[in-house]
Structure 1
């Protein structure tokens, strides 16, 4: 009996691992060649599944037809990949990896929006071909024939890739392009053609995986998200850009997941994130050396723009005062829906600013920042529900302390060994672990979350203010936002802010002049976590419900989008980005898929055309106008001097 259970668990582990590898194969290949960690790979995997569904319908005739349709879906996605490379990826080569991750995530949003517009949001189920749709009994062990098919497909894809990369001229070409494309060009290799073929093949693998795994689960616009995360983890564990490492990493994830199911059935999925964290701490380079090393963070020469010229700073201060005055009038004339959106803009603006403390000032990227927001939201929700007598300002302070402590634990462990992509992936794992732990807790409402959170009464020394009314709580949000912005402005534009910018721009030089780099980064992590948790604490009574959506992977991208949209090199950028993003979402809320499509398009445009965001774009235009005026003035002065006989 024990042997049978062990064999069944191993079989399920390998089947799970091969499904992950089919998605990870294209991901690791494109990184090995272009050094781009493509977050949109899951979206193109999903597109391949939808294309195969459009060809097959819900029933497939034969195994041969099923494979042929999967290959055709891969070919369609390969063509889309070529277009993507020409329009987007080609411009992301040799760009800071932070912007690459964010741009490819914007591409993921764009693809998700297109899928919803074309195929809708309904769930579809597809049955495997009849020949592989029955269980197979072997020595008393019942196995799914379709799972055996997935295992076989994964092994075949791995063997073909391993043979091509390590034994054939095509693999030698790919390794030459990955190592030094400039030298490959000097040797007579057609570099643009080689890169285009490599990109097309990696996208072909994504589309092929979508077709082959179509019957594995329900087809929906969220299909690619879970596969993308697991594929990322397999690539990180195996070694960036190494196909053998991705294969073994996927199998290892399958084994960990299977052991989790057997040993910890009440905590499904948790062991994968624990294993990932251990690998990142103990062996961040992965199981095998990569074809291409992880990109190093690019030195940001525009960090000095964080403070901005005095004229610009004075302008934005005036704009901020006028915006605050206008926002204060909303409860007098806005309806309930618009007022809720405005209050949410304040909270999400503060959340985006907390993320930008890490990215814009310290040069660190977090893709699991929703964990801190959720910590504050659930803490405030529980306090208001179970201990309403505790003053709300004390509750908010507790949110900040709780967020700072968690950030200190994570930062103290991670920032001594991890940076760049590895730190970003670790924060993703932190967010997912937080989501899983909340989903296991009946005290926190599991999947339903905390509902009916009461709004507080604000106990002051001289009076008590009732915040149960939406207008009153909105004004409270506005005042708290102004106070927090004032404190953060003072901190980030003072000595500590200058230390952060020094560490971001050149860590080695900062250490040479006596700055403790690790301690400074940990401090930024703590400040960021505290502000994000306070934002969550303010949001809980405003929305009166907190669910797992607040800690999802997509929720962690919200502050990234807001900060990038407004401009990460400006203190006010995240606030402006939050307002623009919320306005777009509110205006397109009734159009399925249109909101994601527009946000993805705008963010892609900003990354490719104006990477410093809306404020950076404004400064660029303003600089051109000022430069033109000075040029005209200088020309006029030159003419006057020439006419007077003076020196030119």
Structure 2
């Protein structure tokens, strides 16, 4: 019993320190710039590939291993300096939701660059000599490499603690984080301090990639799992707090170790359950930084609200009718491949519209929206596979009801206590927990999913419509998309939709005027979940297969990309974005690495240069061609919506 306990503690420490090595850089950059960098996993991956290029598969010595990890850290630090100059400094006065999405796009760029340089093959790296043999203290076998990871984590923690709290670099960083304007007045070099801090954060990411290289196979998906766990450790410990990240990493390591012992049939599930419970109990973390508590329950102020450019309604009607007419004729003149792509785009239109109800109209962001999509997809797949003659319209209604119930439960528990990044992380945790449950459920097909899903028939008693053929189901899908889009247009242009926009613009002012902000946010969350579940239910018979990939957190990025590409400033933005994104993806499908690179770069350009998306750009063109004056914003930003002091100082220095 004692040996088993010691072994569990050892595994917990090894897993926790591996997480902390990655989370350290993430915490460092947030502590200074309040920037939660989702690209940290991508730069971690680049550091791992760089170290692999230096030392190869069979490293000759421990010193060569350490040198390769150091080179990986230096290369990533230099990339971080370039990234800060080109991207990060432009995000310091941007809505935090856009920052999350922009850094996600940066992660796609990292993945694309990695594929172009190193390819998509898997590589494995053996531990260096001296760390490739097990140790046998007290009659127990321990991995020498895991002991090295524990030691590396402790060294990183001690160095950061001393640097931040004892050295001039730490004092500078703390001064910049507390009041960058006053730091500049006192003569501190703000730009130099920020650049140094950013490089240190990225150096830690690259160093972690090299040090943890023998821990698992080297692939282009290497950074995903580490990034998620690092996020969770930072959230549990408290945003921007090194000690909190250290303790949060150990907590995750302990939870993972206990999960392996007590619930071996579903490994990894306990982490997501514990994280969700922790967020609901203490969303600001164990050691919240200054301002973190406010952010946990923050209302959405005017800084993130964009004015909605209005192209003439008649023009939209003409374009819409013409587009639907062309889409209706597709089965008559295109083959099955492009038709399948267009049908999938129709589903993505519904999915993106559901997400935009939250982000574009309510000011909430969900990074786990694929969970609602999967609920509808699996419900439809099970009903069509196992219930003969099931009415498909009833299945769609059931999917909407189940998605609404799931969203209501989450909303009731979470929306009163958190928003912003905390709500985003909570939705990711719940979606990933659902993915693990599906992946280990025999009834749901495990990793293989549910295949050979039959297409339904619509039985109206007097007549029956068979949707078994691709053409028939495509036409049904087109009609369903048009009807759902029309319903959402009516809903979001009604008094309900206008109230949601008021809440997004300034929730405090809306509450002061008598609006029940919590009720409207919950209603938007429920409607969004229901529509996303319907999109999943429509997708299952179209693809004829649903797998756990439908629930992956990267799948939740699809509606974000579509919405941002088209423009959150317009109801039609997600519709336009879905079409544009599908066109780009289809055109670059055979170009390994270029697809992620093109999409990620394009999304970054939109957020930095044209945050209103394609629809906003068209509005600008329309104003120039026809000489219309730009409309004034619907409301002035709230007093709380100030430009970042760091950005203000840098702008003043540039002038």
CA contact (8 A) 1:15 1:254 kept: yes
2:385 is aligned with 1:385: yes
User: Equivalent residue for 1:113?
Assistant: 112
Secondary structure of the structure 2 residue equivalent to 1:453: coil
Structure 1 residue 7, shift from structure 2 partner: 0.4
Secondary structure of the structure 1 residue equivalent to 2:443: coil
Secondary structure of the structure 2 residue equivalent to 1:233: helix
Structure 1 residue 413, shift from structure 2 partner: 0.4
Q: Which runs of 4+ in 1 moved over 3 A?
A: 291-298, 300-306, 624-630
**Which digits, 9 at most, give the CA deviation of each residue in 1:441-465, with x for residues without a partner?**
1111000000000001111243101
Bigger drift between 150-159 and 454-463 goes to 454-463
- Alignment partners' CA distance in 2, 1:430 and 1:81: 31
Secondary structure of the structure 1 residue equivalent to 2:87: helix
TM-score by length of 2: 0.94
- Alignment partners' CA distance in 2, 1:279 and 1:480: 40
- Alignment partners' CA distance in 1, 2:171 and 2:625: 51
User: Equivalent residue for 2:93?
Assistant: 94
Bigger drift between 286-295 and 10-19 goes to 286-295
- Alignment partners' CA distance in 1, 2:74 and 2:488: 51
Structure 1 residue 628, shift from structure 2 partner: 7.2
Alignment map for 1:418-433 (pairs within 5 Å): 418-433=418-433
Structure 1 residue 596, shift from structure 2 partner: 0.8
Secondary structure of the structure 2 residue equivalent to 1:458: strand
- Alignment partners' CA distance in 1, 2:629 and 2:100: 38
Q: Which has the larger radius of gyration?
A: 1
Structure 1 residue 512, shift from structure 2 partner: 2.0
User: Equivalent residue for 1:130?
Assistant: 129
- Alignment partners' CA distance in 1, 2:95 and 2:300: 5
**Which digits, 9 at most, give the CA deviation of each residue in 1:600-648, with x for residues without a partner?**
0110010000011100111123234444799xxxxxxxxxxxxxxxxxx
- Alignment partners' CA distance in 2, 1:167 and 1:126: 37
Structure 1 residue 314, shift from structure 2 partner: 2.3
- CA distance 1:280–1:541, change in 2 (3 Å): same
User: Equivalent residue for 1:46?
Assistant: 45
- Alignment partners' CA distance in 2, 1:516 and 1:593: 47
Structure 1 residue 508, shift from structure 2 partner: 1.6
Alignment map for 1:305-454 (pairs within 5 Å): 305-306=307-308, 308-309=309-310, 311-454=311-454
**Which digits, 9 at most, give the CA deviation of each residue in 1:422-451, with x for residues without a partner?**
001001111101101111211110000000
Question: Which 5+ residue runs of structure 2 have no aligned equivalent?
Answer: 631-655
Structure 1 residue 517, shift from structure 2 partner: 0.9
CA contact (8 A) 2:300 2:507 kept: no
Question: Which 5+ residue runs of structure 1 have no aligned equivalent?
Answer: 631-648
- CA distance 1:14–1:623, change in 2 (3 Å): same
- Alignment partners' CA distance in 1, 2:546 and 2:6: 41
Q: What is the Cα-based RMSD across aligned positions, in Å?
A: 1.4
User: Equivalent residue for 2:24?
Assistant: 25
- CA distance 1:401–1:89, change in 2 (3 Å): same
- Alignment partners' CA distance in 2, 1:388 and 1:84: 56
- Alignment partners' CA distance in 1, 2:27 and 2:63: 28
Secondary structure of the structure 1 residue equivalent to 2:556: helix
- Alignment partners' CA distance in 2, 1:397 and 1:576: 27
CA contact (8 A) 2:301 2:507 kept: no
User: Equivalent residue for 1:634?
Assistant: none
Structure 1 residue 39, shift from structure 2 partner: 0.1
- CA distance 1:104–1:297, change in 2 (3 Å): farther
Alignment map for 1:145-294 (pairs within 5 Å): 145-290=144-289, 293=292
**Which digits, 9 at most, give the CA deviation of each residue in 1:28-49, with x for residues without a partner?**
0000111100000000000000
- Alignment partners' CA distance in 1, 2:388 and 2:502: 44
**Which digits, 9 at most, give the CA deviation of each residue in 1:356-393, with x for residues without a partner?**
00000110000000000000000000000001321100
User: Equivalent residue for 1:526?
Assistant: 526
CA contact (8 A) 2:252 2:271 kept: yes
CA contact (8 A) 1:96 1:297 kept: no
CA contact (8 A) 2:95 2:304 kept: no
**Count of residue correspondences:** 627
- CA distance 1:61–1:297, change in 2 (3 Å): farther
Bigger drift between 290-299 and 535-544 goes to 290-299
User: Equivalent residue for 1:459?
Assistant: 459
- Alignment partners' CA distance in 1, 2:306 and 2:37: 29
User: Equivalent residue for 2:71?
Assistant: 72
- Alignment partners' CA distance in 2, 1:604 and 1:271: 35
Secondary structure of the structure 2 residue equivalent to 1:129: coil
CA contact (8 A) 1:19 1:213 kept: yes
- Alignment partners' CA distance in 1, 2:188 and 2:317: 55
CA contact (8 A) 1:376 1:534 kept: yes
User: Equivalent residue for 2:651?
Assistant: none
CA contact (8 A) 1:302 1:569 kept: no
- Alignment partners' CA distance in 2, 1:494 and 1:402: 25
Structure 1 residue 127, shift from structure 2 partner: 0.3
Structure 1 residue 292, shift from structure 2 partner: 6.0
Structure 1 residue 302, shift from structure 2 partner: 8.0
CA contact (8 A) 1:233 1:276 kept: yes
User: Equivalent residue for 2:9?
Assistant: 10
**Which digits, 9 at most, give the CA deviation of each residue in 1:453-493, with x for residues without a partner?**
00011112431011011011000001111111111111110
Structure 1 residue 298, shift from structure 2 partner: 5.7
- CA distance 1:126–1:297, change in 2 (3 Å): farther
- Alignment partners' CA distance in 1, 2:349 and 2:452: 24
Structure 1 residue 94, shift from structure 2 partner: 2.1
